[in-house]
């Protein structure tokens, strides 16, 4: 999840169909906020501090980084929930409450399924509706914005061109963010080998690649592994779009990662502090969020992940 600096950080926050590529473009909508109830939990700062206290025992503090890990190469201070509140973060406001997913290029059937499931998961994770747009062909990327890696020969697309030239001009007016998925490898600039994903904090556009996340067509086990990796990277990058920096206090899906092995060591969800940021920013009841995510994991047979969400829900119900 090495991110490239575009304006202030590397990833931005996450616009309806006003500026879509054509008026005939169809969008598929998935999920959305849970229905309000008579006694709805209000994610005020005070309430979220209580939630943090109730679930923190389920989370592992960040340990000493291994050689080559993110924190050995990119020391960062992290950010508490209270520091986030004071930072004037980007969040869904007014009509800007839709997450748009833009498929870019060709996908195998299994990779297409991964994108569809990731869209569903993101809706439950962020408590926002997600709309999947019609495919954008890779030929829209000019030849001088593509390359063959000088050592490996892999075809790669320049990530910044996708975000600034393909996504930004088509950003819908009701979008919290517009995110592209591609099966093609990405590179940020000529000095780097590749990047998992890249986005703009200020412009609310981002792109990430499934290229290095495994072969979901190989077997059900490979499909599940690729799916979990995709869920982690998709929610991590989208979290940056809500002004959440890398987490350094806990093992967290928002923790930085230099490699796939480091990504695999990260949990699938947010730590207590980062979870509070998202719930506060999106007006989400954390209990409903945990229940939705547990249901997703049950549907997909993700047993360990389901147990974590169920344990988190029980901890809140006891508090």
Segment 124-169, tens digit of pLDDT: 999 999 999 999 999 999 888 888 887 787 889 999 999 999 999 9
Determine the Cα–Cα distance for residues 91 and 201; give it in Å rounded to an integer.
11
Annotated active-site residue 237? The verdict is: yes
HSE, side-chain direction, 13 A CA sphere, residue 246: 20
Per-residue pLDDT averaged across 216-245, rounded? 94
Mean pLDDT of 1-15: 36
* Confidence check: pLDDT of 99 > 90: yes
Q: What is the pLDDT of residue 198?
A: 86
How far is 43 from 46, CA to CA, in rounded Å? 8
What is the tens place of the pLDDT at every residue in 262-291? Answer: 999 999 999 999 999 999 999 999 999 999
pLDDT in tens, 164-222: 999 999 999 999 999 999 999 998 887 778 888 888 877 889 998 999 999 999 999 99
CB within 8 Å of 66: residues ≥ 6 apart: 72, 262
User: May I ask the CATH class of domain 17-30+54-281?
Assistant: alpha beta
Q: Identify the active-site residue in 25, 76, 237, 288.
A: 237
Instruction: Provide mean pLDDT across the span 222-237.
Output: 95
């Amino acid at each position: 999840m090495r991110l490239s600096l575009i304006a202030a950080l590397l990833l931005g926050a996450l616009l309806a169909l006003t500026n879509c590529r054509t008026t005939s473009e169809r969008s598929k909508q998935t999920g959305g906020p849970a229905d309000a109830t008579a006694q709805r939990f209000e994610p005020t700062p005070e309430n979220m501090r209580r939630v943090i206290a109730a679930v923190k025992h389920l989370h592992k503090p960040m340990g000493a980084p291994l050689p080559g890990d993110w924190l050995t190469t990119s020391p960062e201070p992290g950010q508490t929930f209270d520091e986030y509140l004071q930072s004037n973060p980007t969040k869904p406001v007014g009509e800007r409450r839709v997450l748009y997913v833009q498929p870019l290029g060709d996908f195998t059937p299994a990779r297409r399924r991964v994108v569809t499931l990731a869209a569903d998961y993101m809706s439950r994770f962020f408590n926002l509706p997600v709309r999947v747009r019609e495919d954008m062909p890779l030929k829209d990327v000019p030849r001088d914005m593509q390359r063959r890696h000088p050592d490996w020969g892999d075809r790669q697309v320049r990530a910044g061109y996708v975000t600034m030239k393909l996504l930004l001009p088509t950003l819908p007016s009701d979008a919290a963010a517009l995110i592209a998925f591609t099966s093609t490898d990405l590179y940020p600039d000529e000095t780097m080998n590749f990047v998992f994903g890249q986005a703009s904090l200020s412009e609310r556009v981002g792109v990430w690649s499934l290229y290095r996340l495994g072969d979901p067509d190989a077997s059900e086990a490979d499909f599940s592994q690729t799916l979990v990796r995709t869920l982690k990277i998709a929610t991590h990058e989208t979290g940056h779009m809500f002004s959440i920096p890398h987490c350094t206090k806990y093992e967290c899906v928002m923790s930085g990662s230099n490699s796939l092995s480091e990504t695999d060591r990260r949990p699938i969800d947010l730590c207590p502090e980062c979870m509070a940021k998202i719930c506060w920013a999106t007006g989400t009841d954390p209990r409903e969020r945990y229940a939705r995510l547990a249901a997703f994991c049950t549907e997909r047979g993700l047993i360990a992940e389901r147990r974590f969400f169920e344990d988190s829900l029980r901890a809140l119900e006891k508090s």
